[in-house]
Homo-oligomer: A and B are copies of this chain.
Amino acid sequence: MGKPPTIADVASLAGVHKATASRALNPRTSDQVNAKTARRVLMAAKRLGYQPNALARSLRTNRSATLGVLIPDLTNPLFPLVVRGIEDTIGAHGYTALLANTDNDPLRTQTQFDALLSRKVDGFLIASAMRDDPLLTRVAEQGIPVVLINRTTDAPLFPAVTGDDEAGVATAVEHLVGLGHRHIAHLSGPATVSTGLVRAQAFHHAIAAHSLPEVVVECASYSESAGAAAASCLLEEHPETTAILAGNDMIALGVLQALSERGLDCPREISLIGFNDMLFVDKLTPPLTTVHVPHHRLGAEAAQLLLDQLAGADSTPKRVSLPLRLVVRGSTGSAC
């Protein structure tokens, strides 16, 4: 119940100076002390249940073995998996993740970021980047290591790990065309984030390659409600549409809702493809055809990149693009 033991307690129990105890306890420096003494110190530490004070250590060493993770929305089932990938990777290297929800809110992002910064995290993994992110340009100047996840900035400020959206969209469109669809619409994510823009551009290319009419409606956000609103608008203005490529699975959920409201059957009357393959979309009715993103690996690779950078590798901002694959389920069918 008393205060937790400090290294001074360990040292005096072992009959040595704090400095010696410190060296004995640290694997990196333990060869600077006599093996016998080291054992005594170790025993003493065990006896007292000594746990080093991470704060004090970080203050002195200027390294916290902690990484800040910025997530736009933890309630989107996509991100917990990414987080797992991060934790699995950094945990093995003795790092801990400090999670923060930004809620896609710039102010909140700023606050959270500052909180992490003042806790002296060694680097950041950021999944909440906007294409033109004032925060990130400021961060770039600070020189603190950052790796972007899933979303990138327009300016190539940082290394990033993303899915190969280009290819993902292409195969999705291919699939729909193969089923005979000629009126394919895209409900894009917000153009303020890179995934929204990139997927819309990819859609443009894929559609143009088949000389089909291009219809795109931009959603206000990656959410079910925004998806539903956009879908309503689309169905109103383009009743000829027979297939929809959603900007992500949340938007696809909104589409399903809009469809059922209008009594349109999916996939008989309208085919639908999502993006991300998040948890549970295989349990919808119909099970959602979607572009699978390797969430866990997304986090893991990004974490690895950051660890490399912290270990002093070259910091040329390379961009890693992970292969995506289309998972065909029940929400797509042949055009009537």
Contact = CB atoms under 8 A, between A and B. Distances in A.
A285 interface: yes
A139 B53 CA distance: 17
A209 interface: no
How many subunits of this chain does the assembly comprise? 2
Interface string A89-129: 00000001111110000000000001101111000000000
B53 A120 contact: yes
A104 to B, nearest CB: 13
Interface residues of A, number: 42
Contacts of A114: 51
Given A77-B77, A141-B1, A280-B280, A84 B101 contact: yes
Interface in A273-290: 279-280, 283-285
A80 B75 contact: yes
A75 B64 contact: no
Given A55-B119, A114-B51, A142-B1, A83 B74 contact: yes
A64 to B, nearest CB: 7
A120 B53 CA distance: 8
A52 interface: yes
Given A84-B74, A99-B99, A253 B283 contact: yes
Which 5 pairs show the lowest CB-CB distances between chains A and B?
A285-B285, A54-B118, A99-B99, A74-B80, A75-B80
27 contacts: A51-B117, A53-B120, A54-B115, A54-B119, A54-B120, A55-B55, A55-B64, A55-B119, A55-B120, A74-B84, A75-B77, A75-B80, A75-B81, A75-B84, A77-B77, A77-B280, A80-B80, A83-B101, A84-B101, A96-B115, A96-B119, A98-B99, A256-B283, A279-B280, A283-B284, A284-B284, A285-B285
